[in-house]
A and B are shown apart, each in its own frame.
Chain A
Amino acid sequence: MKVNVHVSLKPGVLDPQGRAIHHALEGLGFSGVNDVRAGRLIALDVADDTSDEALDDMCRKLLANMVIENYRIEKVG
């Protein structure tokens, strides 16, 4: 089973990388970009019988830092 874990900074947590990317986009002449937040995609290939609970556990214990980050689990097939 292919699973994508999307890790992103919680709303309100300053994202210096997103801000730098935003700045660079403006420098390239792209106008109308209101905000940029950078995150991380972790692509997992796991056994088909991996439980949702186990996936959640992986995110909480390692893939995301729950102090500053949220995660979203997407099963892609």
Chain B
Amino acid sequence: MAFTAGVITFPGSNCDRDMAVAIEAVSGKPATRIWHGDAALPDRIDFIAVPGGFSYGDYLRSGAMAAKSPIMRAVADAAARGVPVLGVCNGFQVLTETGLLPGALMRNAGIHFVCREVPLIVGNDTSLFTAKYSAGQEILIPVAHHDGNYYADEATLDRIEGEGHVAFRYADNPNGSARDIAGVLNHAGNVLGMMPHPERMIEAAQGGTDGLAMFESVFEGLSVA
């Protein structure tokens, strides 16, 4: 089947290539690389990934400038049509700044940049992104961020939890995130943002393969559709 995935690159993105490699490893097809200044996405797009990095040098707020770039308007339109969008690390920050996901990512509670592998507990195993995991399963995925402290007001947190849209929680909270939230889905369930990097755990040489199931979930989910 034809599977067209796109990876957005901003000035300062640095995980875009890893993301493209992960997508190709699972789908067998290279991901289309999309530049931030492009006004439009390819005519056919099945899956969009917003990668990690330090877009625009984290000026103003992490993800704030990238959220206003021309391509993000097109990504927001696509998300509204139901196209699945994955944002990892800086990509998660961009998606909250764009308003595609609730809440905000603040400076880590402990001030320090945190760069290590962290255990996550799968919270949702029914979304397009997480179907090949099991709820309650513990997986090991690396984080590398300074602003990963997830914040939303209590009512929003209650709603997210009530909808079952906490995709992943930290088993041992590294950054002060509210309710240990490491990854969150939007209301419709077609947008996922997460601070940990699944694209850095897709082959044994990287220290583990726990991220692979996410890309397999998306690819297989879309293949069936």
A67 within 8 Å of B by Cβ? yes
**Closest A residue by C-beta to B102:** A67
Report the separation of the CA atoms of residues A17 and B96 in the bound assembly, to the nearest whole angstrom.
21
A-B pairs with beta carbons under 8 A, tally: 37
* Cβ-defined contact, A14 with B109, below 8 A: yes
Write out the residue numbers on chain A whose beta carbons fall within 8 Å of the beta carbon of B68: 61-62
A16 within 8 Å of B by Cβ? yes
Write out the residue numbers on chain A whose beta carbons fall within 8 Å of the beta carbon of B102: 67
* Cβ-defined contact, A62 with B107, below 8 A: no
* Cβ-defined contact, B60 with A13, below 8 A: no
* Majority secondary structure, B binding face: loop
CB distance from A34 to the nearest CB of B (A): 20
How many residues in B have their beta carbons less than 8 Å from beta carbons of A?
20
Write out the residue numbers on chain A whose beta carbons fall within 8 Å of the beta carbon of B104: 65, 67-68
Report the separation of the CA atoms of residues A62 and B176 in the bound assembly, to the nearest whole angstrom.
25
B25 within 8 Å of A by Cβ? no
Write out the residue numbers on chain A whose beta carbons fall within 8 Å of the beta carbon of B110: 16
Write out the residue numbers on chain A whose beta carbons fall within 8 Å of the beta carbon of B61: 65
CB distance from A20 to the nearest CB of B (A): 5
Near A by CB (< 8 A), chain B positions 137-155 give: 149, 151-153
* Majority secondary structure, A binding face: helix
Write out the residue numbers on chain B whose beta carbons fall within 8 Å of the beta carbon of A62: 60, 64, 68
* Cβ-defined contact, A68 with B151, below 8 A: yes
Write out the residue numbers on chain B whose beta carbons fall within 8 Å of the beta carbon of A13: 106, 151
* Cβ-defined contact, A20 with B111, below 8 A: yes
B16 within 8 Å of A by Cβ? no
Q: List 15 A-B contacts (CB under 8 A).
A: A14-B106, A14-B109, A14-B149, A14-B151, A14-B176, A16-B106, A16-B111, A16-B149, A16-B176, A17-B107, A61-B68, A67-B96, A67-B152, A68-B104, A68-B151
Write out the residue numbers on chain A whose beta carbons fall within 8 Å of the beta carbon of B106: 13-14, 16, 68
Near A by CB (< 8 A), chain B positions 147-202 give: 149, 151-153, 176
Report the separation of the CA atoms of residues A61 and B97 in the bound assembly, to the nearest whole angstrom.
10
Report the separation of the CA atoms of residues A67 and B176 in the bound assembly, to the nearest whole angstrom.
17
**Closest B residue by C-beta to A42:** B60
B30 within 8 Å of A by Cβ? no
CB distance from A42 to the nearest CB of B (A): 9
